[in-house]
């Protein structure tokens, strides 16, 4: 197998808990380190992230640090893409840890098939979820959202469609929007049937994800910009599963039951309330987004 130069880019913000472990997973790749360029873009962290990065850079000549004013996730990822020089560009989340053969496996797929523009694979968790409310990314089969937890692009395809993540969709589909731009030009996507990375389980409070659910109205803009992506929706406009819509239909009854459950098991009751509130906010967000962007997605 040919071993061309590759780049790994990481956008980070207040990641003092994870960034060293994340970078160590990159330093420990089976692919030759002299062929790996590492570009880390710090979006003006306010914790010890910058200090940790500067300490690591002294022992790793292939690590390049970029510090910028806070501009958001999409903007930081864009800066990373534009500063990468490799034939293939891999994106890793600051709270994810790559498997040792991630780069090697990705390069093998790209080198064997020039039509492939995107490679992703299984992402599992670092541990069992024990918190009642937490953020994490986990998937064991093709993910239609093409998350930047651990994904790889052919640099040639990025150059053809533009090396940027759409800031209007930042955190709400900017990664999928870039992928659909690449696929629209005829490039192929490959899903590796192997573990590529593990993602941290990050505890949250009760309201955080419920508030963020409102931002998912922007998914309607995503499908307006890329109508071909509707192939991943049920009947071309339904986002969720049957269970999701049943929960919404019987929301008031299920919320009442969750309230009763609270008196017998506080944690279970809160989990049910959290799930139902998040689903309801999500549905209203998609209804509003469908009107706002004139793109029906429910």
Tens-binned pLDDT, residue by residue, of the chain (298 aa): 779 999 999 999 999 999 999 999 999 999 999 999 999 999 999 999 999 999 999 989 999 999 999 999 999 999 999 999 999 999 999 999 999 999 999 999 999 999 999 999 999 999 999 998 999 999 999 998 999 999 999 999 999 999 999 999 999 999 999 999 999 999 999 999 999 999 999 999 999 999 999 999 999 999 999 999 999 898 888 888 888 889 989 999 999 999 888 888 998 999 999 999 999 999 999 999 999 999 999 8
What the block records as the tokens of 140 is: 């064991």
Helix (H), strand (E) at residue 271: helix 266-292
Q: Are strands 188-199 and 116-125 parallel, antiparallel or unpaired?
A: parallel
Which domains occur in the chain, in start order?
A: 6-203 (3.90.550.10), 208-292 (no CATH)
CA–CA distance, 270 with 274 (Å, rounded to integer): 6
Please check whether residue 182 is in contact with residue 161, taking contact to mean a CB–CB distance below 8 angstroms: yes
Provide CB contacts within 8 A for 280, sequence distance 6+: 248, 251
- Cα 37 versus chain centre, distance: 21
pTM greater than 0.85 (yes/no): yes
Q: Are strands 150-154 and 88-92 parallel, antiparallel or unpaired?
A: antiparallel
């Amino acid at each position: 197998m040919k071993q061309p130069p590759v780049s790994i880019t990481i956008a980070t913000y207040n990641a003092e808990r994870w960034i060293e472990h994340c970078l160590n997973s990159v330093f420990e790749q089976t692919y030759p380190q002299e062929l790996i360029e590492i570009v880390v873009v710090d979006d003006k962290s306010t914790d010890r992230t910058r200090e940790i990065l500067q300490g690591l850079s002294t022992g790793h000549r292939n690590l390049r640090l970029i510090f910028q004013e806070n501009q958001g996730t999409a903007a930081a990822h864009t800066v990373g893409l534009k500063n990468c020089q490799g034939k293939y560009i891999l994106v890793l989340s600051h709270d994810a840890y790559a498997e040792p053969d991630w780069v090697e496996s990705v390069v093998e797929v790209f080198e064997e098939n020039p039509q492939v523009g995107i490679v992703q694979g299984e992402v599992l968790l670092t541990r069992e979820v024990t918190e009642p409310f937490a953020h994490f990314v986990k998937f064991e089969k093709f993910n239609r959202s093409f998350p930047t937890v651990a994904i790889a692009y052919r640099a040639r395809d990025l150059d053809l469609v533009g090396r940027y993540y759409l800031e209007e969709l930042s955190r709400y589909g900017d990664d999928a929007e870039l992928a659909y731009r690449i696929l629209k030009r005829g490039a192929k996507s490959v899903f590796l049937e192997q573990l590529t990375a593990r993602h941290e389980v990050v505890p949250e409070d009760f309201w955080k994800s419920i508030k963020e659910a409102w931002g998912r109205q922007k998914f309607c803009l995503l499908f307006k910009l890329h109508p071909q992506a509707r192939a991943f929706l049920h009947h071309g406009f339904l986002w969720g599963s049957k269970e999701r819509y049943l929960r919404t239909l019987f929301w008031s009854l299920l919320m009442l039951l969750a309230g009763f459950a609270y008196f017998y098991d506080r944690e279970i009751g809160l989990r049910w309330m959290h799930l139902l509130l998040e689903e309801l906010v999500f549905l209203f967000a998609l209804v509003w987004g469908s009107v706002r962007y004139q793109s029906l997605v429910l």
